[in-house]
Structure 1
Amino acid sequence: MNKLKELREKRDISQLKLASIIGVSQKTVSAWETGRRNPKPRELQKLEDVFGVAKEDIFFNLFSYKM
């Protein structure tokens, strides 16, 4: 679905800590990781800034357009 959990665990950041950094709840981070919800544009930018990885690479499913 996405690479968020992998990136977060690689950097040894808990869901709660990431939620605090981004300004959302831990449940929201969990929902992003499982694909139940998608981050808003400003949240995508914050995630990109935190991990130093393009948002398209973290949430590739949001940017994969099928014709």
Structure 2
Amino acid sequence: MAKAKTTSGKKTVTITQVHSAAGRFASQRQTLIGLGLNKIRRSSTLEDTPAVRGMINTVRHLVQVDEG
């Protein structure tokens, strides 16, 4: 049986969508989907990597970020 992956030693970031994607560029809508968000007040907890930080930067006006 394979061991379950744990993120206990890795930093995480929680992203919550606070504004609608309606009327935004398609790339911004796709970035929200890539972050696991699609509706207002939905949250996603992801590993804190440079790739995720770049995606957050793309939609920083649509999301709220909680470190930890």
> TM-score, length-normalised on structure 2?
0.34
- Of the two structures, which has the highest relative contact order with CA contacts closer than 8 Å and spacing of 6 or more? 2
> TM-score, length-normalised on structure 1?
0.34
Structure whose residues are more often strand by fraction: 2
Structure whose residues are more often helix by fraction: 1
Instruction: Give the number of the structure whose alpha-carbon radius of gyration is greater.
Output: 2
